[in-house]
Chains A and B, each alone.
Chain A
Amino acid sequence: QKEVEQNSGPLSVPEGAIASLNCTYSDRGSQSFFWYRQYSGKSPELIMSIYSNGDKEDGRFTAQLNKASQYVSLLIRDSQPSDSATYLCAVWEAAGNKLTFGGGTRVLVKP
């Protein structure tokens, strides 16, 4: 079983809609969670970090964390074609003392 799981997609959303991405993790001791955006042929870019249960908003992005359910999500509001990318969920594993990535969810925003 992978330690950080994401639906690979593609997640197709119309322009202006909300894109909802999900991520589950196995290490109950994890305390820090991140979302990276990776455009094709480029390196990952950190877009959100979340450490406490609940929601954290930054512009059009909202990260949601539920440690009891070992679940973290990312909402992209008012999706734009420029949001088309692969979104990687990353979890800081206390046990392994390393950042572990999910396989990524590919998002396609259609005009």
Chain B
Amino acid sequence: KAGVTQTPRYLIKTRGQQVTLSCSPISGHRSVSWYQQTPGQGLQFLFEYFSETQRNKGNFPGRFSGRQFSNSRSEMNVSTLELGDSALYLCASSLQASSYEQYFGPGTRLTVT
């Protein structure tokens, strides 16, 4: 079974731009969660989507948003990029909403200059 895939793997943007990241969950998994990982703050929860609905949101500004499509694929968008948004963005899929066992994709490394 194929794992979680994320595109693109690497991205360089400038301050003020916006970016869209994509995540395809493991086949049959219906929940996608997004995380931001930085050396200083570690792994932090952004939001979770299930059945095209956002179920939960972490403590991030409104510049961070996401959506999920009917095939469970998910995208997250960051608008008006700041230098501090440079991070590894990880998505994780699980069978059900709020499911305990989450499986991570390889991540998208975003660098904001």
Contacts and interface: CB of A to CB of B under 8 A. Distances in A.
Given A44-B90, A101-B42, A104-B42, 13 more contacts: A34-B100, A43-B88, A43-B90, A43-B104, A43-B106, A46-B101, A49-B101, A92-B100, A96-B56, A97-B55, A97-B56, A98-B33, A99-B102
Given A99-B45, A104-B42, A49 B100 contact: yes
Nearest to A86: B42
B58 A98 contact: yes
Interface size class of B (residues with CB under 8 A): 20 to 34
B106 A44 contact: no
Interface of A: 32, 34, 36, 42-46, 49, 51, 88, 92, 96-104
A35 to B, nearest CB: 12
A92 B56 CA distance: 13
B56 to A, nearest CB: 5
Nearest to B58: A98
B102 A100 contact: no
B42 to A, nearest CB: 5
Given A42-B106, A43-B106, A97-B55, A34 B45 contact: no
B43 A44 contact: yes
Given A88-B43, A104-B42, A98 B48 contact: yes
Interface in B22-51: 33, 42-45, 48
